[in-house]
Structure 1
């Protein structure tokens, strides 16, 4: 391990970190452009075969960037997409980004360091960075935006050049070091460990924008919110936001273990997808979509007395037709993904004749991420961390998400040598409310 990494782990002061040389290379989970055809005509695109862990060169910092020594990161579904090279190899994103010229040209490389979550310590700052300094403890908002676009000053997510860091850019978070724009930085909650903090940004910020922020469904007190994939990363944060906002979460899960997990987060109404006959093939049969929708609607009305005001969608093809059918007249479906398929089919009569709405949502702007992070600091939102792996086993971590064997978020220790480090305010941890900092980690807290 290089001296700078050792100093970060030892908690060295800022002046010592500044005096040490930046290493010429660092350890990172990465993909290779030469592997992009490896899954052609392969049924099981096992991401353990494409994800590599090894040394990559250290990039130069742009004036508006910082170098973060990454203590912990986490797996998101975009990591799985990247490692499967679907729907297209993300190297195409890097080439397109690099065509803008200047500092962006660095991103077009024969390898891509992936990962869209991170918590760590700033060890270098670019010449144009004003509000952050070496030694600051931060988490990273994955929205990579262009502040010189006019649309970014209305809502950063509307900018044409907005990208997902570590997915559509290089130098992501599943590594010992990461290059991050200053406009992505958020203070790390002092009462959380590195791995707890790293598990929050992408899924928490996305769920916040979808449900709470002014650009999403704008949930109100008393709203019934149907949450697909409620035991996953997005779903576990959605449950908490609904509960905090006075709503009624209705979670759909696929196993008894996942049902137990979301009840720990306060989701009292739980539907097992097996109970309603939902699988990934129903979208091909409109009659089955209506059958599943009617079964689900009866269960929700039986349990809470009314139809959902909002459906929290991210699974896509397998569920979208049911979502459109089951949401109440005038209700909203807010969607941020399509993990079961991008082509959605639904009966449009239920959309237009019952005045329903479909809202597209993507990640979170920096203000939304700060607002969500404040709720973590106040102890109102808990980390969704469940499982934890070392960086050397990042393939196993991503595979767990790929085959949907996970609950909440799967964390990855990068420079942090063991779990539980990084807590700088134990008193805040003790008084941060009734919720445990990471309640799902009670089911599987040890490093795999």
Structure 2
């Protein structure tokens, strides 16, 4: 592993193809025999620091259409939090189901799960049938793992019956020194970014692109008013950039003055600090407060000059979904990709059917959407949102911070990279966008 790292740090990435692949590597894992670790505890009481382990694991066999990548950096996503607290189910159920598909996928059904759905690194080896990528290529990976043996996936790969999220529903993820991916997960690393910056957008940037911009999602257009929950967070920070980039009008919902300031730094001006304004959409565990929906809607119209949201960018789920359906304009769209506050959503259907609103489910992105989202990063039109970076040894703490919402934007993890700031190839483009690249740092 040291020889591989030395070759990458020297800039001689092409040399890695001639080096031996280690037969083991360090990765962040959860263990099947700990799947009941948090039984009886509320979600907020479950601590990823107790379930995420740094283990030495065997290097998986490389199969057809696959690539083995030396991972320089990765990042924390909420799916790693879910894996670490075994919610809504243990991810070992995903691995067991995947393992039954073929002799090749049986590799994934193990008593440990190497997690992580982002990476930036260098291709070490490619399997039979891979022609687009070579050892030494500097890459990032999106997290759609798809078999494409069903006709359902050939119009939109996200509809394939065997579509999975790599590092969450498959093994050998990116929070490790090596990772196993399908070759059609790979994309060129943006050359003006460091390893940790390049690793951080993958999952959330692609998810936000499909959810908000793509015709498979909300199909945002110029002038649309877009309500964005968690607008300074991992998903919301990219949705805010896409809205501003595409001529829409973001209304950014945040939970602190510091997060409001980040939205202003991105260029947004219509901001609601829901904590400061005291919105409480639930009276108790079973009863929502429609007066709070109305107060929230009135505040949005106050900011926009009387307009309701054309699009609501939803991901908190249970806590906010009733309000989201209520405040969307007549004929508007609520597009949802997650449920970080709870999966059982409740809303008043009168406001949906009588006002001809639509709810769209959106899950990650297909290869084309992920490629387009990465292209915007590479051109300096959308920027990474890294706020803090941890070494691999402190990944559990990083996941804890995301679980407790103690972070801004994205939290990065150095895997093989020894320090931050490495991997920049295009200094001119970086200097042009330095302020935007660093605006989430040290907040």
Specify if TM > 0.5: yes
Task: Kindly indicate whether residue 1 of structure 2 is the aligned counterpart of residue 4 of structure 1.
Answer: no
Scaled by the length of structure 1, what TM-score is found? 0.95
Cα deviation for residue 2 of structure 1 reads 3.9
Question: Is the CA contact (8 Å cut-off) linking 1:280 and 1:318 kept in structure 2?
Answer: yes
Between 1:339-348 and 1:369-378, the stretch displaced more is 369-378
Deviations 1:114-166 (A, max 9, x none): 00011000011111101000111111110111222222220010111110100
Question: Which residue of 2 is the match for residue 178 of structure 1?
Answer: 179
Tell me, yes or no, if the aligned pair for 1:380 and 1:435 is still in contact at 8 Å. Answer: no
Q: 1:365 to 1:134 in 2, by over 3 A?
A: same
Distance in 1 (alpha carbons) for counterparts of 2:10 and 2:80: 30
SS in 2 for 1:436: helix
Comparing 298-307 and 313-322, the one that deviates more: 298-307
The within-5 A match list for 1:354-369 is 354-369=355-370
Q: Which residue of 1 aligns with 2:354?
A: 353
- Aligned partners of 1:302, 1:147: CA distance in 2, in Å? 48
Structure 2 unaligned runs (5+)?
A: none
For residues 311-369 of structure 1, the C-alpha deviation after alignment (integer angstroms, 9 at most, x for no partner) is 00000000000000000100000000000000001110000000000000000111011
Return the alpha-carbon distance in structure 1 between the equivalents of residues 159 and 284 of structure 2.
Answer: 30
Is residue 302 of structure 2 the alignment partner of residue 298 of structure 1? Answer: no
Structure 1 residue 284: deviation in Å? 4.1
Secondary structure at 2:400 match in 1: helix
> Who is 1:315 aligned against?
316
- Aligned 8 A contact 1:28 1:175 in 2: yes
Contact 1:382 1:439 in 2 (8 A): no
Change in Cα spacing, 1:341 to 1:13, as seen in structure 2 (3 Å) is closer
- 2:120 pairs with 1:119: yes
Gaps spanning 5+ residues in structure 1: where? Answer: none
Cα distance in 2 between the residues matched to 1:263 and 1:161:
41
CA, structure 1 residues 109+238, in 2 after alignment: closer, same or farther (shift >3 Å)? Answer: same
Offset at residue 17 of structure 1 (A):
1.3
Instruction: Quote how far apart the aligned CAs of 1:372 are.
Output: 1.0
2:34 alignment counterpart: 35
Cα distance, 1:430 vs structure 2: 2.7
Cα drift, residue 286 of structure 1: 4.7
| TM superposition shift of 1:296 | 1.3
Quick one: distance in 2 between partners of 1:119 and 1:158?
A: 26
Q: CA deviation at 1:176?
A: 0.3
Return the alpha-carbon distance in structure 2 between the equivalents of residues 209 and 251 of structure 1: 19
Q: How does 1:31-430 map to 2 (within 5 A)?
A: 31-43=30-42, 44-279=45-280, 281-282=282-283, 284=285, 286=287, 288=289, 290-305=290-305, 306-430=307-431
Taking the aligned partners of 1:122 and 1:406, their CA distance within structure 2 comes to 30
Bigger mean CA deviation after superposition, 295-304 or 395-404 = 295-304
CA distance in 2, matches of 1:64, 1:435: 39
Separation in structure 2 between the aligned mates of residue 118 and residue 283 of structure 1, nearest angstrom: 41
Residues 308 and 328 in structure 1, CA contact (< 8 A), matched pair in contact too:
yes
Shift of 1:61: 0.5
Deviations 1:151-191 (A, max 9, x none): 22200101111101000000000000000101101111100
Measured in 1, the distance between the counterparts of 2:283 and 2:25 equals 46
